[in-house]
């Protein structure tokens, strides 16, 4: 809707006609014109529909998260002000808020099955389109189905092969509460190779953490740290006895 500086059907009743002269001189006409301009702005404001555009998502960060939800996602784009809803696929975000300083929306991902969906923002002007920039991937929680070997020295250093499902996005491996000294994912076998850290003797669970979450404890992930073998030593008490060699 456009407002004209005139009394017509585009403006509310009571809007004065600009440029009317009452015979009081040019000065009075200028004052009347300025007053009319101010009144026209107040009476006929530009509609929000004209001032704001349909929302568009140009990026999200991060673009991955666990299926259990709870990932805080920053959504960038245009026309995102005053959002009425944010959805991940067909599921509503757990919560969301708009930041007027950055023009972005922050949303918390809901629980969702594994797969890629579009993050869409709805405002009074419409709903954003699904694009490659709005894609968000829910990653399945890793599952450990076996470790080999299942025992190693408490001194650490044992190389352990971890088998399971959804291990590709590995970001950490733990033996009990102790992080592995080293670890790497092997795409050819779908397994993770980890080096056991030093640990007190006893049984622990091997946990794999990925972007999709942390594996749950199962009998298949048990690993036992065993005490190192005793060190042999020999004390020579008689200086007359000569010996050589290593122990």
Beta partners for residue 10, in sequence order: none
Alpha-helical segments (H) within 24-118 = 26-43, 48-51
pLDDT tens by residue, 199-216? 999 999 999 999 899 999
CB atoms within 10 A of CB 124: 12
pTM reported for the whole predicted model: 0.63
Cα 128 to Cα 62, 75, 79: the distances in Å are: 19, 12, 9
Beta partners for residue 107, in sequence order: 73, 96
Give the pLDDT confidence score for residue 231 in this predicted structure.
72
Residue 86: partners with Cβ closer than 8 Å, 6 or more residues away: 75, 92, 93, 96, 105, 107, 119, 120, 121, 122
Length of the chain: 247
Q: Which residue has the tokens 């749950």?
A: 216
Alpha-helical segments (H) within 3-70 = 26-43, 48-51
Give the pLDDT confidence score for residue 228 in this predicted structure.
84
Give the pLDDT confidence score for residue 6 in this predicted structure.
39
Give the pLDDT confidence score for residue 1 in this predicted structure.
39
Tokens of 86: 């944010």
* 10-residue mean pLDDT series, the chain (247 residues): 40 42 49 48 45 88 94 97 97 97 97 96 96 96 97 97 96 97 96 98 97 93 92 65 56
CA distance 241 to 237: 9
Maximum pairwise Cα distance, the chain? 138
SS3 49: helix
Angle 67-71-72 (CA atoms, 0-180°, nearest 5)? 160
């Amino acid at each position: 809707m456009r407002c004209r500086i005139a009394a017509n059907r585009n403006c509310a009743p009571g809007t004065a006609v600009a440029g009317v002269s009452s015979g009081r001189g040019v000065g009075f006409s200028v004052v009347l014109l300025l007053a009319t301009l101010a009144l026209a702005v107040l009476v006929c404001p530009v509609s929000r529909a004209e001032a704001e555009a349909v929302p568009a998502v140009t990026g999200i960060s991060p673009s991955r998260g666990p299926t259990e939800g709870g990932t805080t996602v920053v959504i960038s784009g245009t026309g995102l002000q005053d959002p009425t809803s944010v959805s991940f696929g067909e599921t509503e975000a757990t919560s969301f808020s708009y930041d007027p300083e950055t023009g972005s929306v922050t949303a918390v991902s809901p629980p969702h099955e594994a797969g890629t969906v579009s993050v869409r923002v709805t405002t009074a002007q419409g709903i954003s389109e699904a694009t490659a920039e709005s894609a968000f991937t829910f990653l399945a929680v890793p599952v450990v189905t076996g470790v080999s070997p299942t025992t190693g020295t408490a001194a650490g250093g044992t190389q352990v092969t971890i088998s399971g499902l959804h291990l590709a996005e590995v970001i950490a491996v733990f033996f009990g509460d102790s992080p592995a000294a080293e670890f790497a994912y092997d795409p050819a076998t779908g397994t993770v190779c980890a080096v056991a850290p030093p640990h007190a003797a006893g049984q622990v669970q091997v946990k794999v953490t990925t972007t999709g979450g942390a594996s749950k404890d199962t009998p298949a992930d048990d690993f036992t740290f065993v005490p190192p073998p005793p060190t042999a030593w020999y004390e020579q008490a008689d200086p007359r006895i000569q010996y050589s060699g290593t122990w």
